[in-house]
Amino acid sequence: MSIKLVFLGKLADLAGVSEREVDAPLDWGSLTEELDGALGDAVACGKIKVAVNGTVIPENSALAASDGDEVALLPPVSGG
């Protein structure tokens, strides 16, 4: 029973990995609890967007991921 968390941009550096597995189910509260230190701070900063299975969700607080889902944490884009 797990969810794939994907870290993009500088979040991947802070996490030390580009992805990791976490237990399902996952909401915004359990996600921010799961991530500690500088990574947790960066994710909680209010500028991060969240995509579930390739779709950006309108509000991070609406995150409700279940087994098999892919949750991506997207910092502000720096442009092409």
Angle at 44 between CA 73 and CA 61, to 5 degrees: 75
CB nearer to other proteins: pick between 13 and 33? 13
Q: What are the start-end ranges of the H helices in 1-80?
A: 10-15, 28-34, 37-43
Site for other proteins in 6-65 (CB under 8 A): 6, 8-10, 12-13, 51, 53-54, 56
CB nearer to other proteins: pick between 12 and 22? 12
CB nearer to other proteins: pick between 29 and 68? 68
22: part of which helix (H) or strand (E)? strand 19-23
**From the list 2, 16, 24, 79, which residue makes contact with other proteins (rule: CB under 8 A)?**
79
Cis-peptide, bond into residue 25, ω within 30° of zero: yes
- The residues of the shown chain that bind other proteins, judged by CB under 8 A, are 6, 8-10, 12-13, 51, 53-54, 56, 70, 72, 74-80
